[in-house]
Structure 1
Amino acid sequence: MPLLVVGISVLVLLLLMTRLKLNGFAALLLVAVGVALVRGIPVADIPDVLSEGIGGQIGDTMLTIGLGAMVGRVLGDSGAAQRIAGRLLAAFGPRWVQVAMVVTAMLIGVTMFYEVAFVIIVPIAFTLVRVTGAKLLWVGLPMSIALSTMHSFLPPHPGPTAVASTFHTSVGHTLCYGLFIAVPIGALVALAWPRLPFIKVMNPAVPRGLVGEGEFTDEEMPGLGWSLFVALFPVVLIAGAAVTDMATSGERPFLHVVAFIGSPPIALLLTLSLATWAFGPRIGRGMADVSASCTSAAQAMAMILLVIGAGGAFKNVLVEGGISDYIKDATDTWTISPIVLAWLIAVILRVALGSATVAVVAASGVVLPILAGSGIHPEIMVLAVSCGSIACSHVNDPGFWLFKEYFNLTVIEAIKVRTTYTTVLAILGLGGVLALERTLDVLHL
């Protein structure tokens, strides 16, 4: 019966979000209330259960996600992101344009959300297509694949950050471990996919009217040194703190300072402060313009934060309603690896719900009881759920339509390209997670 409730709730959620076009926040709350009633949670307690779920989820993730969005927007609006992309493309040359796009996307995509980084870099891809005569997918597809990998696999992006919060594990450790999986897998798929026969036969034209006129001139963009320094600053702080934590022990004062500076909210706050000055007064840009960039980023992130909060409410209802415990008890006798099970749950929710953020947050509530007593590193379970959440992007995924329109594809072509590459990324990601867990066990980490 509990699994039937989960199945029906997912179907209802799918109906609300796809057929009735209800936004994810309202849909998740409605389904959460329905599940709470069916599972016998007292009516008087339901508001508190929802509030606790929303508060716990938002409280842990709002700072990281909000600050990350602001940093990304300041980089984009100042021309720093375009400077990084343009210089890399010039350095690599037309022959290695795909490698240049992958490197650019990975550098920018570490701290920037898929949609924001995509819109910033895609005009550079269009320019390269015109200059070199290469096919649009040959140049642009590696960029999209690399961005998808960074966004779905790694914190401080919303999905992995939310799962790390749910599992009460280190975001820094998750980022450090995740880079070992995301970089090689993302690069491999990004460089291989445009070479597949069913991709090479597609030759869409550069679409008209989708690229804004706000391209920066060389004089308007900040220098490459400052652009790279600011873009990589939070990664260095977060990853550095994780490495220090793993390599040292004890209660020395400097370790507390490193941990403080390397915590994602503080690292991103320091980065935002640095970016505000470096791409504001330092280059003659008014503080009002920089503040407007931050405000726009916050407005754009509002619905994502609401969806994450509602996902937390749904998760809390599953826990309080005993569904998560039932799934844990039911799967205790399975011979399947907890890592594979966590990945599979995320895949199922991703296929049903479309939104990777909704899927990954909802999956974390189901997986949480499985983690306890499994002996699996919590960071590995975060990566397993995150990898599963990228699978099977299709027509109920907003990113699918962004990809389709910018690459001027038909729906069927977009399914052939995007649905397949996201699924392969998820499968390879699972293999990488299993290999990483085995390596950590061998090294006794």
Structure 2
Amino acid sequence: MPLLIVAIGIVSLLILIMGLKLNTFVSLIIVAFGVALALGMPLDSIVTSIEGGLGGTLGHLALIFGLGAMLGRLIADSGGAQRIAMTLIDKFGEKNIQWAVVVSSFIIGVALFFEVGMVLLIPIVFTISKQLKVSILHLGIPMVAALSVTHGFLPPHPGPTVIAGEYGANIGEVLLYGFIIAIPTVIIAGPLFTKLARKIVPNSFNKTGDIESLGEQKTFNLDETPSFGISVFTAMFPVILMAIATIITMVQKTNGIEDNAIFATVRFIGNASTAMLLSLLLAVYTMGLARNIPMKTIMDSCSKAIASIGMMLLIIGGGGAFKQVLIDGGVGDYVAELFSDSTLSPIILAWMIAAILRISLGSATVAALTTAGLVIPMLGATDVNLALVVLATGAGSLIASHVNDAGFWMFKEFFGLTLKETFATWTLLETIISVSGLVFVLLLSLIV
């Protein structure tokens, strides 16, 4: 019973992480060994499988993830992110303040990882809410909606990037389709959901919140920061490069144009790793050297960025090891055989598995990686668009964040909510993002 073994493995993972408070990476490796033994894998191949899964996952992700962390840190440390947020809030005006928060959080969310973006934007949201005398949750829900959507759907964030690598999907297509899905999803989960949340838990909109735990925040005078245009261009540069390369490649394939050196160069520049490297070099200049910031200070920011993602990389690697055990142990083949006569779309199946694992495990990235181990074997028998399967997996991995997810507690504490209020706002918000994402992926699958 391979699925029973997987279920026992997931329960064991929960006990190790939540019950015994064991480090997530260590817990994943222990469970990977245990599941491999229970599945009857040959003893001499278990370590090879775990090492292969860990190395294969990080080999694809570490370069993009590391460069992305440095890029985001430079934009934050230079005041570029603050410039983007404050300029948009000023331009949109008091009446459209929610939309200003959505747009600025979306742009910043493309460049910064979820937790970093949240810590950076929350003090700004608190300041604006005091100035305009509006509820912090009125601005906070649109902010986290935009950050969560970019985290779940758009490369170079770890989830979509690593799943694209596992499925063998074109990362540029994932980015392009991700944008198409992300924009309406943010509108639904942000400004529109805020109106519903106000009716469900009206008292939560009277809370004042608490951000003392963030310590003293680095603030800038706007005239000390890079210009708005340069800040947005730097944050969006990797997206621009990958999107251009994807569109040109699509046009080439559609029109049957013969390949040549120009197309090869475009693909090379639009490759996620190349695009991130070029974007980092651009940021070193625009966010640093052009503003007479010493190279040592710039490199200190880069070093801090890498130090902050070390454990996250290990956890992702541990998830990759667990995924590889599921594949090598035959669980993926068993699931593929189980659904071989099913008319269920791989898109829906990937979303369902990721959703179940997300609710069980808490970590969106680990849930997505484990899903890959179960879904990959069945992708060969279908002509489904792999980029859409990536986005469906990402959508499923966001659903119903609750007490086993760090994001749940961050949201609760920062906005000063009760558990009930957090479930009615944050948990429901993440579920709306997940379901909306699936709906838009399915609609897009009718076209592409």
TM-score (norm 2): 0.96
Aligned to 2:245: 241
Query: Which letter maps to 2:433?
Result: L
Moved more, 384-393 or 328-337: 328-337
**Residues 64-143 of structure 1 mapped to structure 2, 5 A cutoff:** 64-143=64-143
Dislocated runs of 4+, deviation >4 Å? none
Residue 377 of structure 1: which of 359, 382, 385 is its match? 385
Deviation, 1:23, is 2.0
Any unmatched runs of 5+ in structure 1?
441-445
> Are the aligned partners of 1:194 and 1:200 in contact in 2 as well (CA < 8 Å)?
no
Q: Which moved more, 1:21-30 or 1:238-247?
A: 21-30
**Counterpart selection for 1:405 from 397, 401, 413:** 413
The counterpart of 2:207, out of the listed 204, 215, 218, is: 204
Task: In structure 1, give the amino acid aligned to 2:249.
Answer: D
- Structure 2 unpaired stretches of 5+: none
CA distance in 2, matches of 1:111, 1:264: 13
> Can you list the C-alpha shifts for 1:71-126, whole angstroms capped at 9, x where unaligned?
00100011000000000000011110000000001111112111111111112111
Structure 2 CA distance, aligned partners of 1:245 and 1:379?
15
User: Is the aligned partner of 1:439 residue 2:447?
Assistant: yes
In 1: Cα distance, 2:202 partner to 2:131 partner: 19
Q: Does 1:282 align with 2:290?
A: yes
Partner of 1:159: 159
* Conserved? CA contact 2:164–2:170, under 8 Å: yes
Matches within 5 A, 1:10-29: 10-29=10-29
For the aligned residue pairs, the C-alpha RMSD in angstroms reads 1.2
In the other structure, the counterpart of 1:443 is: none
1:283-322 paired onto structure 2 within 5 Å: 283-322=291-330
Deviation at 1:178, TM superposition (A): 1.0
SS at match of 2:220: coil
Distance 1:200 1:262 in 2: 47
Structure 1 length-normalised TM: 0.97
Distance across 1 between alignment mates of 2:5 and 2:213: 43
| TM-superposed deviation, 1:208 | 4.8
Please give the alpha-carbon distance, in whole angstroms, between the structure 2 residues aligned to 1:155 and 1:281: 27
Check whether the contact 1:24–1:358 (CA below 8 A) recurs between aligned residues.
Answer: no
Give the Cα–Cα distance (whole angstroms) in 2 for the partners of residues 191 and 115 of structure 1. Answer: 21
Q: Distance in 2 between matches of 1:324 and 1:356?
A: 20
What do the CA deviations read for 1:10-60 (whole angstroms, capped 9, x no partner)?
A: 111111111112222111111110011111112222111111111111101
Distance 1:312 1:382 in 2: 15
- CA distance in 1: counterparts of 2:304 and 2:202, whole angstroms: 38
Where do 1:206-245 residues align within 5 Å?
206-211=209-214, 212-245=216-249
Contact persistence 2:79–2:225 (CA under 8 A) = yes
Residue 183 of structure 1: how far off its partner (Å): 1.0
1:159-212 deviations in Å (ceiling 9; x for gaps):
111110001111111110111111111122201121110143312104251452
Distance 1:2 1:208, change over 3 A: closer
Which letter does structure 1 place at the counterpart of 2:221? Answer: T
C-alpha separation between the residues in 2 aligned to 1:358 and 1:320? 18
The answer for the alignment partner of 2:184 in structure 1 is 184
1:266-296 CA-partner distances (Å, limit 9, x unpaired): 1111111111111112112111111111111
Contact 1:371 1:381 in 2 (8 A): no
| 3-state secondary structure, aligned to 1:94 | coil
Instruction: For residue 220 of structure 1, report the CA deviation from its aligned partner.
Output: 2.1
Equivalent in the alignment of 2:362:
354
